Amino acid sequence: MTEERIEFLQRGEHIVCWSEEEMAIAQLRLLKDYVDAHADELYRQWRQTSSEPDWRIFVVLPVVQLFKGWNLPKRMCRYFADHDTFYELVVWAELVRLMNTTRKMMKQIHGKDTPFPQLKELHRSLMLAKDRYEIEKGTWSTNRFGILECEMVAQDAFSMAMST
């Protein structure tokens, strides 16, 4: 693999990737940064208005658009499928993981009665994204051994979300 550069605008950094594994890790880190920034803003709005957040409109769709429009490497990584369904599953999973972790931390610091957005709809949306991914991935190209190489990233993201 030739050198690929990925910029992390929020951090003012860039990373040089020399392998597909490094590129997958960098792309995942970039998606997580975007999720963190958008979720933080939506959480601030929720604290001001107390109206339940629209996670899809204000986090998932903008993160996928930012990721695809701003910083895709010239050469796609085999571990990162260039399909919206894949990106959305990873974004939903990271959002669930982040919000579950944040809620747990807030309750430990401020007590169990601390107000927090309802996460039931967020969890339901993750399950729907997983279902869509499972259906659509059957139409994607596999390697010569019949393996969909992005599956490991998708499964890890989903498993981490479900374990928080």
Q: In terms of residue numbers, what domain contains 121? A: 25-162
Is residue 20 a part of any domain in this protein? no
Is residue 99 a part of any domain in this protein? yes
Is residue 12 a part of any domain in this protein? no
Is residue 117 a part of any domain in this protein? yes
Total structural domains in the chain? 1
What stretches of the chain show up as alpha helix (H) in DSSP? 20-49, 55, 61-70, 84-110, 120-136, 151-162
Residue 55 corresponds to which tokens in the numbers above? 């996670």
Is residue 9 a part of any domain in this protein? no
Mean pLDDT, rounded, of the chain: 90
Is residue 5 a part of any domain in this protein? no
Q: 3-state DSSP call for residue 6?
A: strand
Is residue 45 a part of any domain in this protein? yes
pTM, to two decimals: 0.91
Is residue 108 a part of any domain in this protein? yes
66-123 pLDDT per residue, tens: 988 865 655 578 898 889 999 999 999 999 999 999 999 999 999 988 888 889 999 9
